[in-house]
Amino acid sequence: MPRCRGLAETGGEAMVTGPYGWLIRRGLVQRRSCTDQRCDDGIRLDTGGECENCSNVVHIRRARRAKIAAQVDRELPGLSERERRRVLEERLREQVAIEAEDLVWRREQARRDAARAAARERAERERQEAAAAEAVRQALPCEDCSRDQAAGLCEACDHRRQTETLIGEAALFAAAGSADLTDPGSVAAVTAKARTAIGSSIAAAWQEFLKITDVAALEADPEAERDAYAFTAFDTARQAVQEFQTTALEMLGRTEEAEAEARRAFRAEQGRPWFQHNPTGADAIAAATKTADAARGRVAEYLLATRLEQLREQTAALTEPAAAAPWTDRLPDLAARPLHGGTAGAVIA
Least confident of 124-128, 191-195, 249-253, 318-322: 318-322
Strands 43-44, 39-40: parallel, antiparallel or unpaired by DSSP?
A: antiparallel
32 located within any domain: no
Question: Does residue 349 surpass a pLDDT of 60?
Answer: no
Question: Does residue 343 surpass a pLDDT of 50?
Answer: no
Percentage of the chain surpassing pLDDT 90?
Answer: 41
The more confidently predicted of residues 240 and 77 is 240
Residue range 156-205, pLDDT digits in tens: 899 999 999 999 999 999 999 989 988 999 999 999 999 999 999 999 99
251 located within any domain: yes
Least confident of 40-54, 102-116, 292-306: 40-54
Q: Both 250 and 278 in a single domain?
A: yes
Q: Both 173 and 240 in a single domain?
A: yes
Residue range 213-253, pLDDT digits in tens: 888 888 888 888 999 999 999 999 999 999 999 999 999 99
Q: Both 97 and 236 in a single domain?
A: no
pTM over 0.85: no
Q: Both 95 and 223 in a single domain?
A: no
The more confidently predicted of residues 29 and 346 is 29
Q: Both 168 and 262 in a single domain?
A: yes
Question: Does residue 67 surpass a pLDDT of 70?
Answer: yes
CB of 261 closer than 8 Å to CB of 295? yes
Closest by CA to 171, choosing from 190, 146, 153, 152, is 190
Q: Both 195 and 221 in a single domain?
A: yes
Contacts of 48 (CB under 8 A, 6+ apart): 2
Q: Both 164 and 294 in a single domain?
A: yes
Q: Both 172 and 312 in a single domain?
A: yes
Q: Both 183 and 255 in a single domain?
A: yes
Closest by CA to 190, choosing from 202, 169, 176, is 176
Mapped to the 3 state alphabet, what secondary structure does 148-193 carry?
CCCCCCCHHHHHHHHHHHHHHHHHHHHHHHHCCCCCHHHHHHHHHH
Mapped to the 3 state alphabet, what secondary structure does the chain carry?
CCCHHHHHHCCCCCCCCCHHHHHHHHHCCCCCCCCCCCEECCEECCCCCECHHHHHHHHHHHHHHHHHHHHHHHHCCCCCHHHHHHHHHHHHHHHHHHHHHHHHHHHHHHHHHHHHHHHHHHHHHHHHHHHHHHHHHHCCCCCCCCCCCCCCCCHHHHHHHHHHHHHHHHHHHHHHHHCCCCCHHHHHHHHHHHHHHHHHHHHHHHHHHHHCCCHHHHHHCHHHHHHHHHHHHHHHHHHHHHHHHHHHHHHHCCCHHHHHHHHHHHHHHHCCHHHCCCCCCHHHHHHHHHHHHHHHHHHHHHHHHHHHHHHHHHHHHHHCCCCCCCHHHHHHHHHHCCCCHHHHHHHHC
50 located within any domain: no
| Number of domains, the chain | 2
Question: Does residue 265 surpass a pLDDT of 70?
Answer: yes
Question: Does residue 293 surpass a pLDDT of 80?
Answer: yes
Q: Both 130 and 162 in a single domain?
A: no
Q: Both 309 and 191 in a single domain?
A: yes
Q: Which amino acid is at 147?
A: R
Domain that holds residue 201: 156-317
CB of 271 closer than 8 Å to CB of 292? no
Mean pLDDT across 284-292: 92
Mean pLDDT across 60-81: 82
247 located within any domain: yes
255 located within any domain: yes
Q: Both 261 and 313 in a single domain?
A: yes
